Structure 1
Amino acid sequence: MATQTAEGLSLHTESLAGIHWVGIVLAVISGVIHLALGVSFIASPLGWAFLVAGVGFLGGAIAVLVDYRRSLMYLLGIPFTAGQIVAWYVVNAPDFSPLGFADKAVQLLLIVVLIVLYRRGDAPTRA
């Protein structure tokens, strides 16, 4: 069902299958983690990088919800998310935190979901 939002955007949830919702939840989890870390490190450039990453994850989830070029969002999301994993490793090695491992697990699952969605195309399906 399409639902009008306060900003005039229409949510297009009728075409979302279960795997879409999994991807949206994973992107939101990683986005919220990055925004929280960004706020906690706001005084440093690393904090701003976290904020940008958080906005990227949340923006991608919103784009899927409003049906904005979903295939392109899946395709762009794969290297964006993979880049987050590489950057995390480079910045944190060898001192990795449990939160970092959890976020990277979420991101690896998100990459799998994005690959499946991209390969499948945007045909509306029911889960």
Structure 2
Amino acid sequence: MTTAQIRHTDAASLGTLHYLGIALAAVTGVIHLALGVPNVPSTLGILFVLAGLGYLGGVVLLIRGVARGPLYLAGIAITVVQILAYVALNAGDLFSTVALVDKVAQLALVGVLVVLYRRET
């Protein structure tokens, strides 16, 4: 195994920025699950649960050593789409406390993922 392969797939190679990304993904994942589970019969509730599981699943994939480049790109794309969808669907009420915490976490996550992608690919 080459040094580059170890750097990109070995869970022991996770650094501070990775752990920051993990924390941010966990925050937004838990928020989505907390908002989605009580509303599961509705389409939006199901979408929130799937989003929450997706963020937590991304953390598991990172720790399990899945190729990081595609994982970072998927995380960036999914998170940006969620931010845009939130703005489009909540134009009149953008600033609840939970929403602000979630969107700040998501924006920071996008930043972390962009930096990690640029560093590691």
Whether 1:100 aligns to 2:99 is yes
Tell me the SS of whatever aligns to 2:65. coil
Structure 1 gaps, min length 5: 1-11, 123-127
Q: Report the Cα distance in structure 2 between the residues aligned to 1:50 and 1:77, rounded to whole angstroms.
A: 16
Match of residue 61 from structure 1: 59
Instruction: From the two aligned structures, give the one with the greater strand fraction.
Output: 1
Runs of 4+ in structure 1 off by over 6 angstroms are none
* Residue of structure 1 equivalent to 2:120: 121
2: CA distance, partners of 1:79 / 1:13: 23
Alpha carbons 2:11, 2:62 under 8 Å: kept: no
Letter in 1 for 2:88: V
Provide the alpha-carbon RMSD of the alignment: 1.5
User: Amino acid of the residue matched to residue 52 of structure 2?
Assistant: G
1: CA distance, partners of 2:41 / 2:73 = 32
* Distance in structure 2 (CA, Å) of the matches to 1:64 and 1:71: 10
SS at match of 2:31: helix
Offset of 1:69 from its aligned partner?
Answer: 1.2
Percent identity, aligned pairs only? 46
Provide the TM-score with structure 2 as the length reference: 0.87
Render the CA deviation track for 1:67-124: whole Å, top value 9, x for unaligned.
11111100111010001101111121111211101100000000000000000016xx
Matched, 1:111 2:110: yes
Q: How many residues were matched structurally?
A: 112
